[in-house]
Amino acid sequence: MEELGAVIAEWEAVRDGVVADGRKIVQAQSLISSPAGDEMSTAQATAVRDSLTAAREHNERMRLYATDYIEKLTAARDQYRHDDDLNAARMRGVDVD
């Protein structure tokens, strides 16, 4: 179970990194502006916004994946712990000659 706990901690670090990256993407989106009012400048700013929107959506999917995986690993660890405790209690009740 210690190994599973270490894996969970690693995935939590991955998720936290993804969240931090997401904040940076949102911050970058707020900084985008067209350098001039001409069509090419506006189109370039729009393309950058669209690219950052796609990055943010991908980042959110990665965050959800990591969160879901952490929840599954945690549930498995808890079930293993419960099963170990149950088996240990059963073994304490067994007479060994």
User: What is the C-alpha to C-alpha distance for residues 40 and 49, in angstroms, rounded to an integer?
Assistant: 14
Please give the Cα distance from 42 to 34 (Å, whole number). 5
- Which tens digits make up the pLDDT trace of 11-60? 999 999 999 999 999 999 999 999 898 999 999 999 999 999 999 999 99
Q: What is the mean pLDDT of residues 85-91?
A: 85
Q: What is the pLDDT of residue 94?
A: 65
Strand residue runs (E) in the chain: none
Place of tokens 């949102």: 26
User: Regarding the domain delimited by 2-92, which CATH topology (the fold level of the hierarchy) does it fall under?
Assistant: Helix Hairpins (1.10.287)
pLDDT at position 95 over 90: no
Q: What are the domain boundaries of the chain?
A: 2-92
Spatial contact of 29 and 6, defined as CB atoms under 8 Å apart: no
